[in-house]
A and B are shown apart, each in its own frame.
Chain A
């Protein structure tokens, strides 16, 4: 399979050896055509290409590259004070966006540590979501911010909470014919603070072994609307209601953070794999959860770890 020059919308895809096809439309209409023909979407290619080269994934027979689709690109404010993020937004653009760093800080924390410099400049937010990895760095923050995935198809648009998008490792609730075009971040409650961090073994080219997100508002010294999510600790990235219950109404003191963190660990369903044994993952769930809760509390008071929080929480140089 060879990457060909972009095919205009509506033009038949290029047929490559062995009956495989590759197309690179410049509009959503062309994407829908390719999807109707059974194509699989590729954006930055940092999961699909690397995976197939390693033999972990099989290259699909039909591929549609969406990287030239203008409707999927850009970052813009929404009318209600939220943010619309095109699915093609590279991680680096999120990590360096001043508004996101200031308000949706945990998303900047996550985006700033995806893979390597190269991954962050080529890999996309949409790809990170649709790859549906339980270790995806951006998903915990998006879930906790109540972000909504915008799925588009020939029949129109459908909005799905990011929390409901992944249904298992590598699986999503998107239907055949649907493509993720954007993610919408709703407006934040006043005084919202957030933090995402992961356990990492090295400083670059890393993946979350354990990750946790904390998002809440501090109002009059008390936590309100706490959202806490775990990453790489269960089949999908999900919120932990028990921890949120402990935090809500509390002052976020170290003792409270520790109790909430223990609730996170108890609710985790870690696996044993090449990156870590389950018992270690569970123990680290408590450590990382406590650190992000504390990090978010500190940030609410104008201090706390700089972005990305992971770096600071692992001991800066």
Chain B
């Protein structure tokens, strides 16, 4: 399998790479936002005159200075700056551009806002009660996607319904009910976001640390009322996103500020701002599950209710809530299902996609619930899963007929790698959890050209957010053209040069852009063979591309180098291609019993994973140490082994963080208590346990290049559930809150001891 040094690795490791915050331009001003700093309030007075009068301030803008546009993915409920009401502490009220960051900070302090405080809504269940304060009093007037079922603080309602869950539950031999509560968490890219905007006449150049430059461009166009070709969004090196940098963010405000100041403007978030304001964080959830099974352990029915935290404004949270239903069904045979999901407005930071949105939290609940069920059945957790996991030919939750489904193989391999069943010392245990995730087929494209010296250049619209997906494209093109991956240059993450792309989200980059790359490379290969046919006096069927040459099969001495072909390409010959590839079909399904159907109904090229985690619990303190992890993913063919190992390792570490230490603490006034790295506890390098990674590696049909499936997101899905199950097995006490902080583990142990 190919092992390559990624093209952007040297600059990143040596510190010579340039990120958005590193950019400087002649006349550059520094931006700073005035945030609401209050959970919910009506704006009585907003006065920027003192800030504007401060020496060194070039512009101060508010909602009055930008087009009156409400935007949002499903519900158009928000404006660029606060309008009349602030609904969460991180809402942007005004923006300042000044000569120095210090002057900008002082100017923000001089902006005067009089607030009339309004009651805050933070509790998901209380938010849905009659007569409660509405987060959006004028919600009924917003433009809305007609599939979204809204009602007061209910941002959306969806269901997953199959068969007759009530009847099947009534007949079940064993029924288990569980309730779980998960805190929200943050993506925490190590690079806080930075945006630079500079106008050239009526056109604006924006450099932004975004995962989705094309979506950012669309948002600027929509909110500032500009044609898309007046906006160029480029992304310098990016220091991680994890979903927090999906969707447009602050590019319009920065562009509007630069226009008002008549100077280029740079916005750089502090760590606190990166915690409070990105309006993309993992949602909190309340999850109630009930599952019935036959005596032999066969699951017959599931009912459930899911509440997810939308936050103050609605991005993709309604879709995430609907997708989470699939993760509460899980990669299992469940013939009868009835689960509802309500996405709920609160006066907290808007939630949105963070790595495998909805899935790790839902799987954390489901996998614990299944361990509780297997205990009630008197079955071993692995044996129970082996009996119920989906396999080829089984029916998924929306009656999709499963194909290329190797969930069982991941279970067996994970159990083998961790040494499941071996005796362990007191206080230690091994927990198991499974997970699944779809691939997302969509349009994607690249241009490929050979320069006059034969050096190849890939021009793609795809975005490299750190996963190495774009860096893997040369492997695919190189295999077709007989060139080493290192020979390629890549022009990427720029809306003006590459074809449209969905961006670094949904584990879609290599899955879709990889197919486009192979298609373009095949086109260049065809062009090269056409040129070589005459020179080598051989038909193309007898030619092959090897080591930078076109040569006659079986007669390697008869060859012409690609470099010489490139140098002689003239007239009607150009070694230039574009590739799109064929978008694979999404499997047929029947979701006719479901409501609030916002998009994902069946899982294309589904990926599966099982994680087994060996933990040690200090019963006296509740401190949990992870001693070892086995993580096995069915991701189809592995195209880039080095990159794939990195994704699984990083996903597991992110999963450990969500399981044990990463939780947003919200105070009763709806303000976040821990927007700092000391008290929002990421796992550090010193905490990372030995991780054994396994891949099933079987090529999948209707999938990505070479039969690959998406891999960026899935490896963070099973980890939290496996850890939760291990804690329960080690202590006899189940922690029903996420994260399982030492205090929560200790409390659970105390309660269990008292029983």
Contacts and interface: CB of A to CB of B under 8 A. Distances in A.
A200 B684 CA distance: 13
B102 A17 contact: yes
A46 B730 CA distance: 39
A284 interface: yes
B270 A203 contact: no
A274 B686 CA distance: 23
Nearest to B750: A283
B623 A274 contact: no
Interface string B728-755: 0000000000000111001100000000
Contacts of A200: 623
Interface stretch (B473-481, B671-679, B712-720): B671-679
B681 A203 contact: no
B455 interface: no
A199 B747 CA distance: 16
Contact of A201 (B270, B665, B676, B741): B741
Contact of A314 (B618, B677, B743): B618
A196 B727 CA distance: 28
Contacts of B627: 317
A317 B679 contact: no
B102 A54 contact: no
Interface in A37-78: 53-55
A201 B684 contact: no
Nearest to B685: A204
Contacts of A204: 684-687
A274 B661 contact: no
Nearest to A288: B621
Contact of A287 (B621, B679, B743): B621
Nearest to B273: A55
B746 A283 contact: yes
Contact of B623 (A54, A283, A315): A315
B742 A202 contact: no
A317 B689 contact: yes
B124 to A, nearest CB: 21
B684 A205 contact: yes
Contact of A275 (B102, B625, B679, B689): B679
Contacts of B681: 201-202
Contacts, number: 64
Interface string A274-317: 11110010011001100000000000000000000000001101
Contact of B616 (A199, A205, A315): A315
Interface in B626-662: 627, 661
B558 interface: no
B156 to A, nearest CB: 32
B272 interface: yes
Given A18-B102, A314-B618, A315-B625, A274 B741 contact: no
B527 interface: no
A116 B623 CA distance: 19
B684 A202 contact: yes
B706 to A, nearest CB: 38
Contacts of B272: 54-55
A317 B743 CA distance: 21
B271 interface: yes
B129 interface: no
A18 B103 CA distance: 10
A199 B679 contact: no
A11 to B, nearest CB: 25
Nearest to A317: B627
Given A199-B742, A207-B678, A276-B743, A314 B623 contact: yes
A202 B743 contact: no
A314 B618 CA distance: 7
Contacts of A202: 661, 681, 683-684, 686-687
B743 A280 contact: yes
Interface in A260-284: 274-277, 280, 283-284
Interface string A244-273: 000000000000000000000000000000
Given A274-B673, A274-B674, A280-B743, A203 B102 contact: no
A315 B617 CA distance: 9
Nearest to A281: B743
A55 B272 CA distance: 9
A284 B625 CA distance: 17
B620 interface: yes
A201 B683 contact: no
Contacts of B687: 202-204
B623 A280 contact: no
Given A53-B270, A54-B272, A205-B677, A199 B621 contact: yes
Chain B CB count within 10 A is highest, among A18, A199, A201, A283, for A201
Contact of B676 (A54, A203, A277): A54
Nearest to B428: A315
A276 B743 CA distance: 7
A204 B684 CA distance: 6
Given A202-B687, A203-B687, A284 B621 contact: yes
Contacts of A276: 743
B673 A203 contact: no
A284 B627 CA distance: 23
A207 B676 CA distance: 13
Contacts of B676: 54
A208 to B, nearest CB: 12
A35 to B, nearest CB: 25
A16 to B, nearest CB: 10
Nearest to A209: B742
Contacts of B102: 17-18
A280 B746 contact: yes
Contacts of A314: 618, 621, 623, 625
Contacts of A280: 743, 746-747
Contacts of A18: 102
Nearest to B620: A287
Nearest to B684: A204
A207 B627 CA distance: 22
A311 B154 CA distance: 47
A277 B683 CA distance: 22
A315 B742 CA distance: 14
Contacts of B686: 202-204
A136 to B, nearest CB: 14
Contacts of A116: 684
A274 B679 contact: yes
Nearest to A284: B621
A54 B271 contact: yes
**Closest 4 pairs between A and B when the two form their complex, measured CB to CB:** A203-B686, A204-B686, A204-B684, A274-B673
Interface of A: 17-18, 53-55, 116, 199-205, 207, 274-277, 280, 283-284, 287-288, 314-315, 317
Given A274-B674, A277-B743, 13 more contacts: A17-B102, A54-B272, A201-B741, A201-B742, A202-B661, A202-B686, A202-B687, A280-B743, A280-B746, A283-B746, A284-B621, A314-B625, A317-B627
15 contacts: A17-B100, A199-B621, A200-B623, A201-B681, A202-B681, A202-B683, A203-B684, A203-B687, A204-B687, A207-B678, A274-B673, A274-B679, A280-B743, A284-B621, A315-B625
